[in-house]
């Protein structure tokens, strides 16, 4: 009696390797995009403190947007400078009754992508929205 050979042929192994390569080709870019979005959460969460301070300024002191923005700018100046965030800026415009919070990322982390939140004051109630035309994070699919 002949002993039957066992094992995989070269073609079978190459097919398995090809399937793994295709799955990796699809999975790795998706994973990298997901990780970039997860790292960008630090940037979006950074806007929480300045927006909260602007809300308090409008609600408790009833000041102008320029005054509230300058107070917030003094509070956050240099506070968030990390390896991901380069700076956080606050600008108030009295004519529009708005305050704009801009978070700028570092070149090392996100190549200077910006996240811009605009708050509009309506009798002490501030409505915040992402400025999709100014924020470069929208085009980069990060926010």
Predicted local distance difference test score (pLDDT) of residue 117: 94
Residue 107: CB atoms within 10 A of its CB come to 10
- Mean predicted confidence (pLDDT) in 113-140: 91
Which pLDDT value is given to residue 5? 73
How many Cβ atoms from other residues are within 10 Å of residue 96's Cβ?
Answer: 12
Here the tokens at position 18 are 């090809």
Please state, rounded to an integer, the average pLDDT across all residues of the chain.
89
For residue 75, is pLDDT > 70?
Answer: yes
Q: Are strands 85-93 and 114-122 parallel, antiparallel or unpaired?
A: unpaired
Of 127 and 5, the one with more pLDDT: 127
Three-class SS state of 44: helix
Task: Please tell me the predicted confidence (pLDDT) of residue 1.
Answer: 65
pTM > 0.85: no
CA 5/CA 103 separation, integer angstroms? 65
- Do residues 53 and 92 make contact, with C-beta atoms less than 8 angstroms apart? no
> Distance (Å, rounded) from C-alpha 25 to C-alpha 105?
29
CB 64 within 8 A of CB 92: yes
For residue 26, name the pLDDT band (cuts at 50, 70, 90): very high
pLDDT per residue as tens digits for the range 42-64: 888 888 889 999 999 888 887 88
Q: What pLDDT digit, counting tens, does each position of 76-119 carry?
A: 887 877 888 888 899 999 988 999 999 999 888 888 899 999 99
Q: How far apart are CA 110 and CA 52, in angstroms?
A: 25
Instruction: Please give the pLDDT value at position 127.
Output: 93
Share of the chain above pLDDT 70, in %: 99
CA dihedral 49, 103, 118, 94 (to 10 degrees): 90
Q: CA quadruple 131, 135, 141, 143: dihedral positive or negative? A: negative
């Amino acid at each position: 009696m002949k002993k039957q050979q066992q094992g995989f042929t070269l073609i079978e192994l190459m097919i398995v390797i090809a399937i793994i390569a295709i799955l990796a080709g699809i999975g790795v870019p998706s994973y990298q995009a997901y990780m970039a979005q997860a790292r960008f959460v630090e940037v979006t969460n950074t806007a929480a403190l300045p927006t909260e301070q602007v809300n308090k300024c409008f609600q408790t002191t009833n000041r102008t947007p320029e005054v509230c923005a300058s107070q917030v700018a003094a509070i956050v100046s240099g506070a968030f400078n990390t390896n991901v965030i380069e700076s956080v800026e606050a600008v108030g415009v009295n004519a529009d009754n708005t305050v704009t919070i801009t978070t700028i990322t570092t070149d090392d982390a996100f190549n200077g992508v910006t996240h811009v939140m605009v708050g509009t004051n309506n009798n002490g109630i501030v409505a915040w929205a992402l400025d999709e035309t100014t924020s470069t994070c929208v085009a980069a699919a990060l926010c």
